[in-house]
Amino acid sequence: MDYAGYLKAADAGAPPEVALLHGPEAMLLDDAVTRVTRGLFPEGGDLTLAREILDAREAGADGIVQAALLLPWSGTRRLVVAKGVEELGVRAADALSAYCQRPNPSTVLMLVAPQALAATHWLHKAVPRPLAVAVQAPTGAQVVAWLRAHARAQGIDLAGEAAALLVQLTGEDLTQLCGEVEKAALAGGADNRRVTTAEVRAVVGETRARRVFDLTDALVARDRAAALTLLNAMLGAGEEPFALLGMLAREARAAWRAADGLRAGRPEDEIARELGRPAKQANAMIDRARSLRPAAAAQQLRRCWEAERRLKLGGLPRAELSLLIADLCAG
């Protein structure tokens, strides 16, 4: 089962009885726990007797199994979340494997590992493959879909255009995005639970939004002079270099996806949807991709990774980002 499928089952109140969720994105792991909880106990209330969250190192494999075997004190279901299971060690495999073969049907057991597990990890031998869920950060249009679903779980109605705009303006850092959604909701009033593009612009700021749009347009048009002017203005206004690098990398990734989609003969409307952008901007990116060979697009993306490496090694932000923009505009 993939992460999206797991969340869909969780939202429907029908997650598998046992699942191993593993990946480095703490926000996604916590979101899975939240959505399983909401799906199993839609009425909310006091979850003290219905949900148990364990530190795997303290509970041990036997403690996890015993918690999962307990019958519900009230209601018909019980949720047990064991965090940090990767630190139990291989000796825990037998107990977990035996439970997975005959799980308690009234318990949902979530085994959570905050790191990507190699295919040879002992947990993959203890937990059947169909029950292992690799939790990977969403990209592109997936970020927009995930953000809207996350907001919905928090009781916030986040419009599609507002979500796409927020990703474009602030990047794909999930923790930051969730914080911005909450601030945008408050921008509409203390009791507001709907976020539109108006609330997003109010939070981000009109000047920054305009500069982000202009820089994106300059990159798509390969207007090196305009892009460099905007870069200098944004750095002068205090923009974080790595935030700007993330923006440039998103543009390179979008160009690569569009070019690859065109090469594969996929319909343009399908490519536009996957880019997760307003129609005008998505079509402009597709137009650019027509003259961009997939190999060249992939090279631009690698160039972003190289710029990130150089910045982390102490490269001068203005110089490194200026060179990167020159390369991206060169096509």
Residue 26: both structure tokens together: 């703490």
Decide if 136 contacts 172 (C-beta within 8 A): no
Q: Where are the beta strands (DSSP E) in 15-164?
A: 18-22, 51-55, 78-83, 107-113, 132-134, 157-158
Q: Tell me how far apart the alpha carbons of residues 213 and 200 are, in angstroms, rounded to a whole number.
A: 14
Query: What homologous superfamily does CATH list for 3-134?
Result: P-loop containing nucleotide triphosphate hydrolases (3.40.50.300)
Tens-digit pLDDT profile for residues 147-160: 998 888 888 999 98
pLDDT tens, position by position, 179-193? 889 888 888 777 778
Q: What CA–CA distance (Å, rounded) separates 8 from 1?
A: 11
Q: What's residue 213's pLDDT?
A: 82
Q: Is the pLDDT of residue 287 over 70?
A: yes
pLDDT at position 153 is: 80
Full DSSP string of 65-98: HHHHHSPPSSSS-EEEEEE-GGGS-GGGHHHHHH
Produce one character per residue of 94-108: b if its CB has 16 or more CB atoms within 10 Å, e if not. Answer: ebbbebbeebbeebb
Per-residue model confidence (pLDDT) at position 20: 97
Residues of CATH 1.10.8.60 domain(s) within the chain?
A: 141-204
Q: For residue 273, what pLDDT is reported?
A: 83
* pLDDT of 83 strictly over 90: yes
Give ranges for CATH 3.40.50.300 in the chain: 3-134
Q: Are strands 18-22 and 157-158 parallel, antiparallel or unpaired?
A: unpaired
Per-residue pLDDT, 165: 85
pLDDT > 80? residue 206: no
- pLDDT for res 331: 65
- For 264-283, what is the mean pLDDT? 84
CATH code linked to domain 141-204: 1.10.8.60
Residue span(s) of the chain under CATH 1.20.272.10 come to 206-330
Give the strand pairing for 18-22 and 107-113.
parallel
Greater model confidence, 121 or 206: 121
Both tokens assigned to 172: 């794909």
* Full strand arrangement of the beta sheet holding 51-55: 51-55, 78-83, 107-113, 18-22, 132-134
pLDDT digits (tens, 9 = 90+) for 226-260: 999 999 888 887 888 998 898 888 888 888 888 88
Instruction: Find out whether 135 and 32 touch, Cβ atoms under 8 Å.
Output: yes
Pairwise CA distance, residues 62 & 59, whole Å: 7
In angstroms, the CA 16 to CA 11 distance is: 12
Mean pLDDT of 131-140: 88
**Which CATH fold topology does 206-330 show?**
Zinc Finger, Delta Prime; domain 3 (1.20.272)
User: Which phi and psi (to 5°) does residue 81 adopt?
Assistant: -115, 120
Please give the torsion angle defined by the CA atoms of residues 217, 218, 219 and 225, in that order, rounded to the nearest 10 degrees: -170
The answer to whether 174 and 27 are in contact (CB under 8 A) is yes
User: What CA–CA distance (Å, rounded) separates 284 from 258?
Assistant: 10
Q: What is the mean pLDDT of the chain?
A: 89
Question: Residue 306's pLDDT is what?
Answer: 93
Residue 133 near residue 1, CB atoms below 8 Å: yes
Please report how many Cα atoms fall inside a 13 Å half-sphere around the Cα of residue 252, on the Cβ side. 27
pLDDT at 81 over 70: yes
Distance CA 112, CA 125 (A): 15
